[in-house]
Amino acid sequence: MVDLFLNRVLIENNWDQDELNTEREITGILENRIVMLFFASAECEKCLEFVPVLNDFFKRLKDPAYIEYPKLLALIYISLDQSEEKQENFLKELHKKVLFLAFEDPYRKELQTMFKVKDVPTIVVLRPDGSVLSPNAVRDICRFGCDCFQNWQESAELVERSFMLNEEFDNLNLRSATDPVRRLKYKTEDDKRKKRWWKHLGEIFLF
């Protein structure tokens, strides 16, 4: 998996849009992880409708506010947008831990050809060794939510970690005594929204 992006520049979808371009940085963020390649476009209505579901799915597996030990998972947006402005607008809707390729990087089109992506939205799920675990997981994410990851994990024979890596501590504040209450509140509210979204999106993507 790491080899797929060595000698490439991945950009973090944060305020500074930090670039990861060294072998050490790419290895550190992709090694021993299940990787989701999200092919989409701002001009695609289904893509825009799917984004809230994808964000919810991703944060429940990666955000320390929702899970004690973030999962070994990476999400890379492969833009099929027609302009850099549209790509930037789409990125504003995605989670800040999403990675992406620059608009001018021709590797976006190479990946589209490599994985035979014809329709969007498409999420190609890759094992840590780079082999394809799912050619398009959009419908599964809409229908089964976070349960998908457990199935991917078992299929990829991914070893779960029992501690958080340094990257997970970035910009974290010390948790207060009210954290369990806040987590329960967020979980309850998000579960209600998630059920509505997944029911709606499941109907859209059942074709």
Residues 154-200 have pLDDT tens digits of 998 876 654 444 444 444 444 444 444 444 444 445 555 555 555 55
The residue segments making up the domain with residue 167 are: 2-205
Give counts: helices (H), strands (E), the chain.
Answer: 8, 7
DSSP string computed for 116-135:
T--SSSEEEEE-TTS-EEES
Domain count, the chain: 1
Under 8 Å between Cβ of 172 and 64? yes
The DSSP secondary-structure symbol of 163 reads S
| CATH of residue 169 | 3.40.30.10
- Residues forming a β-bridge with 40: 79
Q: What are phi and psi of 123, to 5 degrees?
A: -120, 110
pLDDT tens-place string over residues 42-94: 999 999 999 999 999 999 999 888 888 889 999 999 999 999 999 999 999 99
pLDDT at 3 over 70: yes
Listed residue (77, 91, 75, 96) closest to 29, CA to CA: 75
pLDDT digit string (tens) for 127-157?
Answer: 999 999 999 999 999 999 999 999 999 998 8
Q: Which residues contact 149 (CB under 8 A, 6 or more apart)?
A: 34, 61, 71, 73
Does the pLDDT of residue 96 top 50, yes or no?
Answer: yes
Residue tagged 């509505």 (tokens): 196
